[in-house]
Amino acid sequence: MIAMEEFLKEFGDYYGYPDGPKNIKEIRETEFKRLDEGVVYLDHAGSTLYSELQMENIFKDFTSNVYGNPHSQSDISSATSDLIADARHQVLEYFNASPEEYSCIFTSGATAALKLVGESFPWTQDSNFLYTMENHNSVLGIREYALGQGASACAVDVEEAANQPGQQASSGPFIKVKHRAVQMRNTSKLQKEETRGDAYNLFAFPSECNFTGLRFNLDLVKLIKESTETTLQGSPFGMSKRWMVLIDAAKGCSTLPPNLSEYPADFVVVSFYKLFGYPTGLGALLVRNDAAKLLKKTYFSGGTVAASIADIDFVKRRERIEDFFEDGSASFLSIAAIRHGFKLLKSLTTSAIWMHTTSLSMYLKKKLLALRHGDGAVVCVLYGSENLKLLSHKSGPTVTFNLKRPDGSWFGYLEVEKLASLSGIQLRTGCFCNPGACAKYLGLSHSDLLSNVEAGHICWDDNDVINGKPTGAVRVSFGYMSTFEEAKKFIDFIISSFVSPPKKIGNGIAVSGRFTQLASEELESKESFPSYYLKSITIYPIKSCAGFSVTRWPLCRTGLLHDREWMIQGLTGEILTQKKVPEMSLISTVIDLEEGLLSVESARCKDKLHIRIKSDSYNPRSHVFDSHANNKLENHNEETRINSWFTNAIGRQCKLLRYSSFTSKHCLNRNKSPGLCRDLESNINFANEAQFLLISEESVADLNRRLEAKDEDYNRANEKLDAYRFRPNLVISGGEPYAEDKWRTVKIGDHHFTSLGGCNRCQMINISKEAGQVKKSNEPLTTLASYRRVKGKILFGTLLRYEIDAKTESWIRVGEEVNPDIE
């Protein structure tokens, strides 16, 4: 309550719609009841949320009225055409654009609107395409059309100062545009000293940067169009005439839509799901009518022609701008839906939405900037928020940052995303499809970017820190229904998960709070075993399905014979796991080596499935485990039978694949695309990282004690964890908790293994089975994250590689002594 009082003391006049038809508490209680389940949604820059009342009104509209294809003369089609015309008017009204000056062209999204401008703009070899560094990839894509037609392209930085010497205070801020390297594919253009003055040029910028939230000064529109020589002074483009301006308003229009009567841009793109959550797949291009007449469109389709003749080169196109550009039938039901979204925004007003969301982002920025580690080191680096006093009018409701450890190294943004998800907080990480802003604010040079690509880094992969530098950032963004409580929960999450408290002395030992293990007196007294033994052996023939335990089993080049030798693949080629298909945990497996059979069973399938394994396939010295071409089962009928069984078992079309030792030693990264495994010196099947996972019973027992001490409700609802929750191949007993962390090598019986380090755990360990049903929770990963995090990884269990020895019998047995070599 104290935090809320402090917040309202500073932002009470702006927060919560005090003068609106509903305050924020009433909005949440009546229109966003689904968020009461503990979900904190903080990715409104990616897509805001639809209101439940909005969807009820849409459903009522659709079930009370009949809408049809507008390309007809029927009464229903005419009524639908009128509805579409009304929707166009509402879009223009939202941007204060006169229908006499602007037209609204509906598209499949903001990207399609940008593509339309790029492909139809009147490019010539004398044209120039300038765009700010802070632009979405969908704007950068226009560059391909420009360069392809021989035009020049160039990224620019916009610098703004309050006043220049001798400039009157009333004349507004001074804006300077600085260019970067000029790009061109028409080398003959370099030889020309002057360009023709009749070429059209395009300048593109976002109303709000989707990376930092910084808003661009809309005076740029008039400065580029009317004061080109001054604004572009010092660049090769200052003498170019006939400039047209494009504003990407997809992000910024949800709080401050550009006023087109004051800032007459030629093109403005909008995305409706960013405005009010629904519908998706619909956007619009607002185009000045005089600019639309200059666009060149090649393709024609149904709806865009007045007449055409099939067997001669004749077509007469429709003249209305909307009819000329909107190919095919309009998405009339989606267009009907946006009227209910605009009704919602009008009831709140964009100014009130802006004040409400900005109060939350300003609060969050101040709290993040104030965070310090126990030793005084800065925790958070904000991007585009250097001076908070100047930001209230220059920034949208977006907060982008990275976090630092006490030693100055970076927390990876994926670590933040992973832990936030465990806490029920949904946010966004990466570069947000804005490579220019990402490089600019993270200080990444061309050399850095190219070396990152050469190292294998691509969008949405696991490489969040390369060579000590972040490759992206964390972004939190607020929407009209966001609350103080959500912002406060996020701050509390950052403090509890990433801020190191002051060092304290406990029992004469310096510790650092939450990163330590439980103090010895908090643990149950337990006899210390000087030796270890192998408690169990488990084989998982099919990746992500249940395994079976044995007392003895042969070893081979890939680890335990037949371990993860099969996997289930979806129709589009993706590898299916429990994270995507939790029901896979209900598929049981067992292998009979003597019979050469893999047997698979599921409650969803009436019959047990038997798959014949070749009699020589378990030869531990054999280098080939599958002679079938292209990893397919030899007999087509057998393949069909097996794939049909698994399709029924998991409820989606799939097929079973078997590993061949002739395939590469690559494993799967976060996106299920190939990536190098940690185990590069031996063969593995379809394992993620290594041949073996070893789990200690004592470490599991310690984790259970922590869970019991943390959450009584969790203990009442859940049984104690056993080692098999973590899908180990080998379970050992004896010793102290986490002693395996320090093992370099280990000998089990007569077999030698090398430790590859700890196993990085994911949310798959949060999936459990109860009475034949799959259950998901946040545990035990949340608790493990509180004390087993190392450089962004949550470690539990040890990965091993088998050092095969042809001189010894290649069978491993339960009860064998385990002898580690400790660091």
Residues annotated catalytic, as ranges: 433
Which residues share a beta bridge with 399?
A: 476
Which amino acid, residue 201?
Answer: N
Q: Does residue 464 contact residue 471 with C-beta atoms inside 8 Å?
A: yes
The residue assigned the tokens 């936030």 is 420
The residue assigned the tokens 């004051």 is 262
Q: What is the separation, in whole angstroms, between the first and last Cα of the chain? A: 50
Which residues share a beta bridge with 175?
A: 160
The C-alpha atoms of residue 154 and residue 804 are separated, in whole angstroms, by 58
Q: Tokens at residue 400, please?
A: 């982008």
Per-residue HEC secondary structure of 538-575 comes to: EECCECCCCCEEECEEEEECCEECCCCCEEEEECCCCE
CA distances (Å), origin 615, targets 305, 549, 565, 621: 69, 21, 16, 14
Q: Which long-range contacts (CB under 8 A, 24 or more apart) does 631-634 make?
A: 631/657, 631/658, 631/659, 631/660, 631/663, 632/657, 633/658
**What element of type H or E holds 268?**
strand 267-271
Q: What angle do CA 535, 540, 545 make, to 5 degrees?
A: 125
**What element of type H or E holds 301?**
none
The C-alpha atoms of residue 792 and residue 795 are separated, in whole angstroms, by 9
505 phi-psi bin (left φ>0, alpha ψ -120 to 50, beta other): beta
- Specify burial of residue 787 (Cβ count, 10 A radius: 0-12, 13-18, 19+): middle
Beta strands in 425-584 (DSSP E): 425-426, 428-430, 465-466, 469-470, 473-477, 504-506, 509-511, 532-539, 548-550, 552-556, 559-560, 566-570
Q: What is the DSSP pairing of strand 428-430 with strand 509-511?
A: unpaired
**What element of type H or E holds 799?**
strand 793-803
Q: Is the dihedral of CA 676, 681, 686, 692 positive or negative?
A: negative
**How many other CB atoms sit within 10 Å of the CB of residue 373?**
18
Report the largest interatomic distance among the alpha carbons of the chain, rounded to a whole angstrom.
94
Q: How far is CA 286 from the centre of its chain?
A: 29
Phi and psi at residue 655, to the nearest 5°:
-145, 155
CA distances (Å), origin 82, targets 270, 282, 472: 22, 18, 46
759 phi-psi bin (left φ>0, alpha ψ -120 to 50, beta other): beta
**What element of type H or E holds 519?**
none
Task: Output helix, strand, coil percentages for the chain, rounded to the nearest 5.
Answer: 30, 25, 40
Q: Tokens at residue 774, please?
A: 């799959």
Interaxial angle between packed helices 332-348 and 52-64, expressed in degrees from 0 to 180 and rounded to the nearest 10: 140
Interaxial angle between packed helices 75-94 and 332-348, expressed in degrees from 0 to 180 and rounded to the nearest 10: 40
**What element of type H or E holds 362?**
helix 350-370
Closest alpha carbon to 700 in 752, 667, 735: 735
Q: Is 497 helix (H, G, I), strand (E, B) or coil?
A: helix
